[in-house]
Amino acid sequence: MIAYDPTNKRLALFQREATPESWDEQWNQKDLKKNISSGKTHHFIERFTKKYLSSGGRILEGGCGTGQVVFAMRSWGYDACGVDYAQQAIATTNALVPSLQVSAQDVRATTFPNAFFDGYWSLGVIEHFWDGFAPITKEAHRVLKPAGTLFLTFPWMSPLRRMKAHFGLYPRFDSSTDPTTFYEFMLDKERVVRELETQGFACAESYPYDALKGIKDEIAFLHLPLQKLYNSRSASARAIRYLFTIFFSRLCGHMLLLVCKKSSSVSP
């Protein structure tokens, strides 16, 4: 079920609570080693990383899962490491790829020293915390060097979702809603930006993407035909998904990337 929170201008998806155990189950794949190495195909991550960070820079991925993106960033010439609270997934990755620097840690309180990293990637993490994401981004601010770069992605309230909310097309929930089955929020961009600014970040760029999912999930009669395209791994399907991102993401992209610079040396 998806419900609208008018107070915070966000949607909430209720299906299964995002716990360490649920992520361990999701990442328990048969060919995990091959899955990890597939991270080098994350082209938009490569493009933005290289745009803002010099080769050899030190990067942390907060919420790294099995380490796909960490593996990719190392292959692109960065000194990358990752943390995740799914302990079994981390243990499996450590056993399969011992050279990969991933460890079981809480993204809200890591063991790294202050001002240690040039960059910090967070891919679809902050939306899973019922009590809010501020502790995660404050920790990112702490471990980033002055002028370090935060790359933050999350499901967002696209214009299509805002329009549906305006016309009352989602059921509503309030603070008394049972969070037992909460999975993720779809967040309001302006509210996220304001929170980051209070923490000492300056947002430099935004990039909406994954328009195909944004359309299939929000327009009911298109869901079934587009789901097949979304699940396909063929070259033609990938090309079509890319075209959807180019032409429709600003209207209905499922995800949003914010690129932010640490603008002060001390987190408020």
Instruction: Express each pLDDT in 98-127 by its tens digit.
Output: 999 999 999 999 999 999 999 999 999 999
The rounded mean pLDDT for the chain is 89
Query: What's the rounded Cα separation, in Å, for the pair 47 and 92?
Result: 29
Q: Does 17 share its domain with 45?
A: yes
Q: What is the pLDDT of residues 34-64, one digit of tens each?
A: 677 666 667 899 999 999 999 999 999 999 9
Q: Does 189 share its domain with 133?
A: yes
Task: Check residue 179 and give its pLDDT.
Answer: 75
Mean pLDDT of 132-149: 97
Q: Is residue 149 part of a domain?
A: yes
Task: Check residue 255 and give its pLDDT.
Answer: 96
CA distances (Å), origin 205, targets 45, 193, 231, 257: 14, 11, 29, 8
Q: Does 177 share its domain with 47?
A: yes
Name the CA dihedral angle for 18, 88, 230, 165, rounded to a multiple of 10 degrees. 10
Q: Does residue 216 have a pLDDT over 70?
A: yes
Q: Does residue 227 have a pLDDT over 60?
A: yes
242 pLDDT band, cuts 50/70/90, is confident
Give the domain extent around 236.
211-252
Q: Does 135 share its domain with 48?
A: yes
For tokens 């933005």, name the residue.
Answer: 48
Q: Does 6 share its domain with 54?
A: yes
Crossing angle of helices 159-166 and 235-252, in 10° steps, is 50
Q: Is residue 9 part of a domain?
A: yes
Residue 73, C-beta contacts closer than 8 angstroms, at least 6 positions apart: 45, 49, 59, 61, 80, 121
Q: Is residue 238 part of a domain?
A: yes
Q: Does 66 share its domain with 169?
A: yes
Query: What's the rounded Cα separation, in Å, for the pair 178 and 161?
Result: 23
Mean pLDDT of 130-151: 96
Q: Is residue 92 part of a domain?
A: yes
Q: What amino acid occupies position 149? A: T
Query: What's the rounded Cα separation, in Å, for the pair 52 and 148?
Result: 9
Rg (CA), the chain: 18
Q: Is residue 104 part of a domain?
A: yes
Residue 33, C-beta contacts closer than 8 angstroms, at least 6 positions apart: 96, 97
251 pLDDT band, cuts 50/70/90, is very high
Q: What amino acid occupies position 37? A: S
Q: Does 17 share its domain with 91?
A: yes
Q: What is the CATH number of the domain that holds 157?
A: 3.40.50.150
Q: Is residue 169 part of a domain?
A: yes
Q: Is residue 268 part of a domain?
A: no
Domain count, the chain: 2
Return the structure tokens found at 80: 């990358």
Q: Does residue 72 have a pLDDT over 60?
A: yes
Q: Does 239 share its domain with 175?
A: no
DSSP state, residue 105: -
Q: Does 185 share its domain with 228?
A: no
Length of the chain: 268
Q: Does residue 84 have a pLDDT over 60?
A: yes
- Among 103-107, 174-178, 197-201, 264-268, name the one with the lowest average pLDDT: 264-268
Mean pLDDT of 176-198: 91
Task: Check residue 181 and give its pLDDT.
Answer: 85
Mean pLDDT of 115-142: 96
Task: Check residue 264 and give its pLDDT.
Answer: 63
CA distances (Å), origin 29, targets 37, 66, 130: 13, 10, 27
241 pLDDT band, cuts 50/70/90, is confident
Q: Does 174 share its domain with 239?
A: no
Q: Does 61 share its domain with 83?
A: yes
Phi, psi torsion values for 80, nearest 5 degrees: -110, 145
Q: Does 32 share its domain with 143?
A: yes
Query: What's the rounded Cα separation, in Å, for the pair 25 and 168?
Result: 35
Q: Is residue 267 part of a domain?
A: no
CA geometry: angle 24, 27, 31, nearest 5 deg: 135
Return the structure tokens found at 171: 């059921």
**Are the CB atoms for 86 and 26 separated by under 8 Å?**
no
195 pLDDT band, cuts 50/70/90, is very high
Q: Is 92 exposed, middle or buried (0-12, 13-18, 19+ CB in 10 A)?
A: buried
